[in-house]
Amino acid sequence: MSVDERRAYARRLAAESIAEGDPTGWFERLYVAAQRGEAVVPWADLEPNPLLRAWARPGSGRALVVGCGLGDDAEHLAGLGYDVTAFDVAESAVARAGDRFPGSRVHYRAADLLVPPPEWRRAFDLVVESYTVQVLRAEARERAIANTADLVAPGGTLLVIARARDEADDPGRMPWPLTRTEIASFGLPAGRIEDLYDDENPPVRRWRAEFRRPAAS
């Protein structure tokens, strides 16, 4: 099976799961299939996201990585000094991240962004959401956006990285790029919203958006 065929398999899993009314159930099936060599996880590059790496600086405080996948972004932030919690809805992804980084300081756990643990509400000084919202649609996307913003502590920062499109553009196939309206809907004051192209071949248009919750919020 070619790489294109395995990527198509991921899209088929997503379509089937969404049609069944389960917007996130396909993640576990995808990671299990990838472990068997029957699929690829399109966003799992086994290295930190370059747009995160260029943005992040040494810091401290509690950080949360949304949809952590195989752990590379979480490990990068931990290496910069953050106390990192990282979660994914796919238990297989969380288990593999733990296997890849034995002895890690990152707190890995399985959790669902659509129903996050209540104790996480406004609990993190830095929240990183990279490529998770863009693989959700409709009401699930709206809930994910609202829940992500609600994880940010007063005075905390939210970083969102996602594919970008104009309002009138066809969203095409999964992953479905976000519009500027959707980026703005995270509902926190925006420090900077960058509309840029990455270094892929061919380049892909991305948002890198930084938000901050007011300290008194």
pLDDT digits (tens, 9 = 90+) for 32-79: 988 888 888 888 888 999 999 999 999 999 999 999 999 999 999 999
Mapped onto helix, strand or coil, the DSSP state of residue 112 is strand
How far is 64 from 86, CA to CA, in rounded Å?
6
Mean pLDDT of 140-165: 97
The pTM for the full model equals 0.93
Largest CA distance in the chain: 54
Q: In this structure, are residues 150 and 144 in contact, taking their beta carbons and an 8 Å threshold?
A: no
Give residue 3's pLDDT band: very low, low, confident or very high (50, 70, 90): low
How far is 114 from 55, CA to CA, in rounded Å?
27
Pairing of strands 107-110, 83-88: parallel
Type and span of the H or E element at 209: strand 205-212
Q: Where are the extended beta strands (E) located within 36-151?
A: 62-66, 83-88, 107-110, 124-130
